[in-house]
Amino acid sequence: MLQNESEYIRILKDRLGGTLPREELDDIVSDYSEHFRMGLANGRTDEELWRSLGSPDDVAREIKAMHLVKRAENMKSCGNIFHAVIATVGLGLFNLVFVLAPFLLLICMVLVVFIIGVMFAVFGPFAFAYSILQLAGLPVFAIWLNPVAGVFISIGITTTGLLLVIWDYYLARFFYRVGIKYLKWNIAVIAGTEDVS
């Protein structure tokens, strides 16, 4: 493979074409072609410039991750944050531990709280109905020792469940916001620094 400007640009365009808007891609490409042009004019060789710029694949990966994180910030959605995380994880093995693992952990937390909340919110009304039936003296086997207490407890359970679900929504939003900040910091400081020799 020839290590020159046109090959470098070709790889950049190839890796970023599907993700970045045309205008942004042209803007980035112009920087790199100008760098090659100026470097050659200053008596440096294509190979030397290629090496000092770093592999176009790495450059493209970093730019792509930056772009996807920005998109996830501007348009909040599960899909967008997922793509942003995957792109950042792809920047280095290191990030399997420092990005993917915490991400999965947070998702699990949000899910567990949600499931518990929903279970409470669903179970509560049933328990409530049951204690009413028991109060009315219908021939059902007693689950409540004291049906009056059962009324209040089941209201409590339902409310707790609903509150958990609402709270979980804010928790997820909080994680999202902090996560975006962390991804940005990660890309700015850590990404691409582990295999530079």
Partner 1 sequence: MHTNQGDPMNIQFKKGVLEICVLSVLAHKDCYGYELVAEISKKIDISEGTIYPLLHRLKDEGHVTTYLQESAGGPPRKYYRLTESGRKEEHEQKEEWMQFAASVNALLERKNDAAE
Which residues make up the interface to partner 1 (CB under 8 A)?
27-28, 30-32, 34-35, 37-39, 41, 52-54, 58-59, 62-63, 66, 70, 188-190, 192-194, 196-197
Give the span between the Cα atoms of 157 and 160, in whole angstroms: 5
Please, which residue, 13 or 70, has the CB nearer to partner 1? 70
Please, which residue, 12 or 151, has the CB nearer to partner 1? 12
Q: Count the residues in the chain.
A: 197
Instruction: Provide, rounded to whole angstroms, the least separation between the CB of residue 151 and partner 1.
Output: 56
What is the DSSP secondary structure assignment for residue 93, as one 8-state letter? T
Please, which residue, 167 or 194, has the CB nearer to partner 1? 194
Please, which residue, 37 or 122, has the CB nearer to partner 1? 37
Instruction: Provide, rounded to whole angstroms, the least separation between the CB of residue 154 and partner 1.
Output: 52
Give the span between the Cα atoms of 77 and 88, in whole angstroms: 17
Token pair of 68, please?
């996807």
What is the DSSP secondary structure assignment for residue 195, as one 8-state letter? S
Instruction: Provide, rounded to whole angstroms, the least separation between the CB of residue 96 and partner 1.
Output: 16
What is the DSSP secondary structure assignment for residue 43, as one 8-state letter? T
Q: Label residue 137 left, alpha or beta by phi (over 0 means left) and psi (-120 to 50 means alpha).
A: left
Instruction: Provide, rounded to whole angstroms, the least separation between the CB of residue 41 and partner 1.
Output: 7
Give the span between the Cα atoms of 85 and 79, in whole angstroms: 10
Instruction: Provide, rounded to whole angstroms, the least separation between the CB of residue 38 and partner 1.
Output: 4
Full DSSP string of 15-49: HHTTTS-HHHHHHHHHHHHHHHHHHHHTT--HHHH
Please, which residue, 14 or 34, has the CB nearer to partner 1? 34
